[in-house]
Copies of this chain bind each other. A is one copy, B any other.
């Protein structure tokens, strides 16, 4: 089983982090290939950067994901830029980190909260969960000031702050589980799990496991509706990969 991890943040060190932590989570027979976005912000922390990251994610898929040996795709930027567009255009299952984390947390029962870095993600993630149709299950989103990129650079310093944030989610919002969102927070959940009285869900782990399950399920690609492969369209000024992917019929 080969999974393509797309990090649309254009920071290679973050891709390395995701690949390294992903390796610990994936099954032994799962191969991970992690690629970095080619265009856009070093770290996505605004609506504008998020919109461009959608292009970057599609671009990375077009370049690295269309081969027959890629079994599934993990979109490794919490908030999942262009998730539905990737599901549409890819012939494999595509799993977003935030999507997988929300579905996994929902399986715990009750309500989940999200803790992540970067204040602007608060409203953006509430809108994401609403678009997922899961607002009724969301206890709240709690952001801390450092971005995921900041936390990735010095995770030790952020631990206490993240524990506090998780506890606020439980005590104030009544969360029954807490998602640690953000590629930059990969690997932190096990380090603080014993200090938080509810299950912690790691976005990367949730996404990799869901991708592995999707491969096992041999989930077929829909052939109708707005998530089927789109008809070819003439495009301009895109990378060769995207030109090929969008302008030739995907059979």
A46, A177, A224 interface centre (most CB from chain B within 10 Å)? A46
Residue of chain B at shortest CB distance from A124: B226
CB-CB < 8 A to A226: which residues of B?
A: 47, 110, 120, 122-124, 176
A107 to chain B, nearest CB (A): 6
User: Contacts A49-B246, A136-B133, A197-B224; is A217 near B233 (CB within 8 Å)?
Assistant: no
The answer to whether B49 touches A52 (Cβ under 8 A) is no
Judge if A151 is at the interface, Cβ distance under 8 Å: no
Question: Complex Cα distance A219/B201, Å?
Answer: 8
The answer to whether B238 touches A39 (Cβ under 8 A) is yes
Q: Which of B38, B49, B219 contacts A233 (CB 8 A)?
A: B49
User: Contacts A88-B48, A108-B222, A197-B224; is A246 near B41 (CB within 8 Å)?
Assistant: yes
Judge if A244 is at the interface, Cβ distance under 8 Å: no
Question: Complex Cα distance A98/B40, Å?
Answer: 26
Judge if A144 is at the interface, Cβ distance under 8 Å: no
The answer to whether A47 touches B88 (Cβ under 8 A) is yes
User: Contacts A124-B226, A131-B131; is A238 near B85 (CB within 8 Å)?
Assistant: no
CB-CB < 8 A to A220: which residues of B?
A: 193, 199-200
Judge if A43 is at the interface, Cβ distance under 8 Å: yes
Question: Complex Cα distance A130/B133, Å?
Answer: 10
The answer to whether A214 touches B89 (Cβ under 8 A) is no
Chain A interface residue count, Cβ-Cβ cutoff 8 angstroms: 90
The answer to whether B222 touches A197 (Cβ under 8 A) is yes
Q: Which of B42, B108, B109, B223 contacts A234 (CB 8 A)?
A: B42
The answer to whether B133 touches A109 (Cβ under 8 A) is no
The answer to whether A236 touches B40 (Cβ under 8 A) is yes
0/1 per residue, A17-55, Cβ < 8 Å to B?
A: 000000000000000000000111111011111111011
A139 to chain B, nearest CB (A): 10
Q: Which of B47, B131, B209, B242 contacts A217 (CB 8 A)?
A: B209
Q: Taking beta carbons and an 8 Å cutoff, which residues of A are in contact with B? A: 10, 38-43, 45-52, 54-55, 58, 81-89, 93, 95, 99-100, 103-104, 106-110, 120, 122-124, 127, 130-137, 170, 174, 176-177, 193, 197-202, 205-206, 209-210, 212-214, 216-217, 219-227, 230-231, 233-238, 242, 246
